Structure 1
Amino acid sequence: MVLLQATGGASSILLLVGYIVFFVVLMYFIAIRPQKKQQKQLNETLASMEVGDSVLTTSGFYGVVLDITDDVVIVEFGNNKNCRIPMQKTAIVQVEKPEK
C-alpha cells in the first residue's frame, strides 16, 4: 500500500513537469519565435536601406533618407525640404523603395 502511494506521487510530479515543459515550448512557438523572425526581417530591411528611400519612423512620420552612417540616418521631413533630422536606425520601422 505504501509502495503504491509513493509511485502515485512520483507520476504526478512527472505529469506536472510534463505540463510545464509543454507550456514553455508552446510559449516559445507563440511569442518568442515570431518576434525573432520579425526582428531579423527588420534588420535585413534596415541593412538594405539606401539614400532616397522613403521611411516610416516609430513616431509615425514619413520622410526621405538623405544620408546613412553606421547607426544614424539623416531623414528629410515635410514638403518644404528644409526639415532634416538625424535619427537612429532603430527608430525606423518601415522602408519603401522609390518607384523607378
Structure 2
Amino acid sequence: MFISSAFAQTAGASGDAQSTLMSMLPLVLMFVVLYFVMIRPQMKKQKEHKAMVEALAKGDEIVTAGGFLGKVSKIGETYIGVELADGMEVQMQRSAVVQVLPKGTLK
C-alpha cells in the first residue's frame, strides 16, 4: 500500500517540472523571434550608418536628416561643413548625414 503511493507521487512531481518547462517555451520563442526580426536588423543598420559617416570625404554629396541636399566642404572630428548653395555653408553633426549620393547628383 505504501509502495504504490510513493510511485504515484514521484510520477506526478516529474510531470510538473516538464509542464513548467513547456509553459515557458512560448515565452523563450517570442524573445528569439523578437531578436531576429527587430533587434538584429537594427544593429546591422546602425553599423552601416556608422561606417558611412566615418567614410565621409570632402566633396561628397549628401542628404541630411533635415532633408537638405548639400556638398561636404569641411570635415572635422564631430562636425562637418556642408555647402547648401553657392556661398552658403552650414555646420552640422556628422551623425545628421542620412545618405551619401552618387557624384554629380547635385548640379
Q: Give the structure-2-normalised TM-score.
A: 0.79
In the alignment, which of 81, 86, 94 is matched to residue 91 of structure 2?
Answer: 86
Identity of aligned residues (%): 33
Tell me the distance in 2 between the aligned counterparts of 1:23 and 1:86: 44
* Amino acid aligned to 1:77: L
Q: How does 1:17-28 map to 2 (within 5 A)?
A: 17-28=24-35
Q: How large is the RMSD of aligned CA atoms in angstroms?
A: 1.7
- Other-structure match for 1:49: 56
Give the greater-gyration-radius structure (CA): 2
In the alignment, which of 31, 39, 42 is matched to residue 38 of structure 2?
Answer: 31
1:46 offset after TM fit, Å? 1.3
- Other-structure match for 1:7: 14
Tell me the distance in 1 between the aligned counterparts of 2:20 and 2:88: 64
1:26 offset after TM fit, Å? 0.9
Unaligned runs of at least 5 residues, structure 2? 1-7
Give deviations 1:36-78, integer Å, cap 9, x for gaps: 1111111111111111111111111111100011110111113
Aligned residues: 97
Misfit runs of 4+, over 6 Å: none
Tell me the distance in 2 between the aligned counterparts of 1:7 and 1:31: 37
Higher RCO by CA contacts (8 Å cutoff, separation 6 or greater) = 1
Unaligned runs of at least 5 residues, structure 1? none
Tell me the distance in 2 between the aligned counterparts of 1:16 and 1:89: 48
Query: Greater CA deviation, 15-24 or 67-76?
Result: 15-24
